[in-house]
Structure 1
Amino acid sequence: MFFVRIFLSAVLFLRICNALPYGSDLILKFYGSSNQLKINSKDAAPRGYISFENSFYKYHRDPQTWAKARQICEVEGGYLAIINSDDEASFLLGMMAKYPADVLTDVQSKDFVLLGFHDYFKDREFVTIDGKSMESSGYMHWAPGQPDNAGGNEHCGTLRRSGGLNDFPCETPSPFICEISAHTQFTINDVQNNEMIKSKFIQNAVYPQTLKPNN
């Protein structure tokens, strides 16, 4: 019975993968008795995403608050982008350049994109959304005069169009960039028991542009 359950779980997982935009290119591997499956999507970008080095990126022009943007990225299987190098920063600036200020007619903050860092826990101590210090992320190039916590209400991270990191009001809707690692891992039990994962994968494959978190 145990082996039957494992087999059925694997079949279910494969069916979900086939619903993904890049499902036909996935490489699935079992790791011993841990029942862990590794999704290797390095050579196939998810729909709407652009490949760079070991991640995929998507520019969202529809302005959102930082919390909403973070949630949207998670629903799409990723996270608000974290810059780890000068090359990555240049790549993201290139994405921003494709949406100049005169194109963003419905956007108030045209010269910023929300990124995955903040100082919610302690003022001026910025950390990435995965809980690491900014120093350990590998990129700490702030725009001139930043961070300044203007108005005492700038606790979320952005990248300026002119270059450099910037602190920003978390409740001000802005464009944002999501990042998905080229190597994503889930376990069979996650897929079998977590309806959220099943739903997220299937919905994102069918509605990649319109999927939004609940209010």
Structure 2
Amino acid sequence: MGGDLSGLAIIVTFTMVCVSSKCPEFVFRLTEFKNYLVSNYQQRFVNLSANGCGGKCIERSNCQSFSYQFGENINECFTFNGRAWSGQNATYRKGMVTYWRLEDRCPSDYVYDIASNVCYKTYNQTTDKTTWMGAMEICQAEGGHLFICNSDEKWNIIDNLDGSIYPYVANPYTHVFVGATFTADKWAWLDGSNITDWEVTEPNDDTEHCAILYVKSNRRLSLTADYECQSITNFICEIPVHSINL
């Protein structure tokens, strides 16, 4: 997991970057958000290894991601405030890869799920309802992002939300904003991974570029649908972690 990741083939193979002098506190995970550079980077460095790039990121307390490109003549490193995500304004850069920082603790008002290794928080009150970007900004302010549902373990979290969390689930369903958008003619979760669990007939509207989950009272029917980004609804936040000492 450690070591000098100075070649593209090695970068792609290693899904984690652990900054050796700071392990296990600082760990970065390779995302599936590739071949794009988000425009609002904070710093640029050249001729660093991927580990070195991660080291530059942890020098700044608000840096939670970096993008790295290994080139024939130059290696480029870009650090970001928060996490760079699929759906932001970005430029095509072949070979660019993005790493997200994983945290080592959950805030006290988040729930830790050991199976998926994430902390999550449900915003389920009527007064919590906001737009997709409003929800994303709330999650980012808490050190995370909107919930990404790209694994069986993540779906189990959603499936186990019941009437005690969303009182109107028995209606028989409600919906919540999650971390996926339609950008550059493609639907993707914030980390660049593909959406595979669509509701029947979804996505079905070319003007709806944000995603919701239908949270239903009968389990294993929580599925993804497209939704108008400026509409308001509830949402779920997530903070990715690498280990939690319980």
TM bracket, shorter-chain basis: 0.5 to 0.7
What percentage of aligned pairs have identical amino acids?
Answer: 28
* Letter in structure 2 aligned against 1:144: V
**Equivalence for 1:88:** 154
Q: Does 1:66 align with 2:132?
A: yes
Residue number in structure 2 paired with 1:160: 214
| Matched residue SS, 2:167 | coil
Distance 1:63 1:133, change over 3 A: same
**Residue of structure 2 equivalent to 1:121:** 184
Q: Within 2, Cα distance between the matches of 1:157 and 1:143?
A: 11
Q: Can you list the C-alpha shifts for 1:105-145, whole angstroms capped at 9, x where unaligned?
A: xxxxx7111111011332xx202223x141xxxx5111111
**1:114·1:159 contact (CA, 8 Å) conserved in 2?**
yes
Partner of 2:166: 99
Residue 90 (structure 1) shift:
2.2
Deviation at residue 84 of structure 1 after TM alignment: 2.0
Could you tell me whether the CA contact under 8 Å between 1:142 and 1:166 is conserved in 2?
yes
* Distance in 2 separating the partners of 1:88 and 1:174: 20
Equivalenced residue count is 143
Structural RMSD (CA): 3.3
Q: Structure 2-normalised TM-score?
A: 0.50
In structure 2, relative to structure 1, the CA distance for the partners of 1:29 and 1:91 (3 Å cut) is: closer
Partner of 2:202: 146
The answer to whether the 8 A contact 1:141-1:164 is kept is yes
Structure 2, unmatched stretches of 5+, are 1-23, 28-50, 62-100, 217-221
In structure 2, the CA distance between the partners of 1:93 and 1:28, relative to structure 1 (3 Å rule), is: same
Runs of 4+ in 1 over 3 A off after TM superposition: 27-42
Q: How does the TM-score come out when normalised to structure 1? A: 0.56
* Whole-angstrom distance in 2 between the partners of 1:66 and 1:54: 24
Cα distance in 1, alignment partners of residues 162 and 142 from structure 2 = 20
1:88 positional shift: 1.1
Q: 1:91 to 1:121 in 2, by over 3 A?
A: same
1:44-66 CA distance string (max 9 Å, x none): 43121111131100001211100
Which structure has the highest helix share of the two? 1
The answer to whether structure 1 residue 55 and structure 2 residue 118 are counterparts is: yes
- Could you say which residue in structure 1 is the equivalent of 2:174? 111
Offset at residue 96 of structure 1 (A): 5.5
- By relative contact order (CA 8 Å, sep 6+), the higher-ranking structure is 1
In the alignment, structure 1 residue 172 sits paired with structure 2 residue 231: yes
Asked whether the equivalents of residues 211 and 227 of structure 2 are also in contact (C-alpha less than 8 Å), the reply is: yes
Could you tell me how far apart the structure 1 residues matched to 2:226 and 2:112 are? 27
The code of the aligned residue for 1:113 comes to V
Verify the 8 A CA contact 2:106 2:239 in the aligned structure 1: no
Query: Contact 2:130 / 2:234 at 8 angstroms: preserved in 1?
Result: yes
